[in-house]
């Protein structure tokens, strides 16, 4: 394995689970209570916008009552102290990485605290509800939608992500089930490009076989341990 200089970290819902934010799959996950087809596709939004807006209004309100946990704190510490390239690619739409202090964060599935105007294509910071059809701050039209990536839509910043994967020496995946593409394919891409690959998860994921190493346990414990380790190797 080559020396570690450039790190790409992929995070999923599992890193925010200990902050009290629901994961999607598995027991108690969001998809147990809401059908994906009803709330997380553009077709669902066209068919029943009130249902979709209420689902996201509820989650946008909830994340604002939650706080980062030791896993977010540890990644923020790594971001500040790692002298090489580092990119935290999160599938999460919460803002807990940023609230922990991380700066090199990219939200490939969008963000709860942003609204996207489908009329003028402006994205605006947003904390309130959308169900009441507020006007877009830029154009005034009542055409705002959650700024999140639904099934069938293109995730954000793919070129930047693949650029980072191409130069990564280490790819680390934290708390994601490996069920959703293209994120689920990053481990294979990174490995084929020569990076070392490490998975930190509560249990084995659909992608576990692709990783050089998998460590099992809660992110709040595993991530601070791994960050100490990687900073000591610097
Ligand atoms: C812990 C823990 C603790 C718990 N500590 N760990 C057939 C084959 C291949 C692909 C497709 C296909 N048919 C369709 C597709 C494409 C489709 C797809 O992947 N479908 C699959 C279901 C098969 N993908 C898309 O449509 C994407 N777009 C796309 O592909 O565009 C074309 C394209 C082509 C080429 C290049 C690029 C693009 C868009 C996907 C959009 C996903 N959107 C959502 C909703 C976002 C908004 C919202 O939040 O509502 O994103 S779905 C949902 O899943 C959300 C998540 O980001 C995503 C991933 O979930 P995640 O984070 O992995 O959570 P969970 O719940 O699944 O797992 C939690 C994990 O945590 C578990 O492993 C636990 O063990 C662990 N855990 N507690 C550590 N304490």
Mean pLDDT value of segment 182-196: 98
Q: Which of 192, 230, 186 is nearest to 5 (CA)?
A: 230
Q: With 90 as the cut, is the pLDDT of residue 28 above it?
A: no
Continuous segment of H or E residues that includes residue 199: strand 196-201
Burial class (CB in 10 A: 0-12, 13-18, 19+), 170: buried
Which tens digit of pLDDT belongs to each residue from 197-230? 999 999 999 999 999 999 999 999 999 999 999 9
Which tens digit of pLDDT belongs to each residue from 63-85? 999 999 999 999 999 999 999 99
Q: Are 92 and 12 in contact (CB under 8 A)?
A: yes
Q: With 80 as the cut, is the pLDDT of residue 1 above it?
A: no
pLDDT for the residue numbered 208: 97
Rounded to the nearest angstrom, the distance between the alpha carbon of 59 and the centre of ligand 1 is 17
pLDDT for the residue numbered 61: 98
Which atom of ligand 1 is nearest the CA belonging to 18? 80
Which tens digit of pLDDT belongs to each residue from 44-63? 999 999 999 999 999 999 99
Tokens of 192: 């084929």
Mean of pLDDT over the chain = 97
pLDDT for the residue numbered 26: 86
Question: Cβ(29) to ligand 1 under 6 A?
Answer: yes
pLDDT for the residue numbered 2: 81
User: Of these residues, 72, 97, 107, 109, which one is catalytic?
Assistant: 109
Which tens digit of pLDDT belongs to each residue from 121-180? 999 999 999 999 999 999 999 999 999 999 999 999 999 999 999 999 999 999 999 999
Q: With 80 as the cut, is the pLDDT of residue 100 above it?
A: yes
In this prediction the pTM is: 0.97
Give me the torsion for CA of 9, 23, 151, 179, rounded to 10°. 60
Q: In the structure, what pLDDT confidence band is assigned to residue 27 with cuts at 50, 70 and 90?
A: confident
Domains of the chain: residue spans and CATH: 1-21+68-109+155-234 (3.40.50.1220), 22-65+116-148 (3.30.1600.10)
Question: Cβ(175) to ligand 1 under 6 A?
Answer: yes
Residue 72 annotated in active site:
no
Cα separation, 34 vs 59, whole angstroms: 12
Question: Cβ(152) to ligand 1 under 6 A?
Answer: yes
Question: Cβ(214) to ligand 1 under 6 A?
Answer: no
């Amino acid at each position: 394995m080559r020396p570690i200089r450039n790190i790409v970290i992929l995070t999923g819902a599992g890193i925010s689970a200990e902050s009290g934010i629901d994961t999607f799959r598995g027991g108690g996950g969001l998809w147990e209570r809401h059908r994906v087809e009803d709330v997380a596709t553009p077709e669902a939004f066209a068919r029943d916008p009130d249902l979709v807006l209420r689902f996201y209004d509820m989650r946008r309100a909830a994340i604002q009552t939650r706080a980062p946990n030791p896993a977010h704190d540890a990644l923020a510490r790594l971001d500040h102290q790692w002298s090489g390239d580092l990119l935290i690619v999160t599938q999460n739409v919460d803002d807990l990485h940023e609230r922990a202090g991380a700066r090199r964060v990219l939200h490939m599935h969008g963000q709860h605290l942003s609204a996207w105007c489908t009329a003028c294509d402006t994205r605006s910071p947003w904390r309130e509800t959308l169900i009441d059809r507020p006007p877009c701050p830029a154009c005034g039209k009542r055409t705002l939608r959650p700024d999140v990536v639904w099934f069938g839509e293109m995730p954000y910043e793919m070129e930047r992500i693949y650029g980072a994967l191409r130069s990564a020496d280490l790819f680390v995946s934290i708390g994601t089930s490996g069920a959703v593409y293209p994120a689920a394919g990053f481990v294979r891409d990174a490995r084929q490009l020569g990076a070392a690959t490490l998975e930190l998860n509560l249990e084995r994921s659909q992608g576990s076989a692709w990783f050089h190493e998998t460590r099992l346990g809660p992110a709040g414990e595993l991530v601070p341990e791994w960050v100490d380790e990687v900073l000591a190797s610097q």
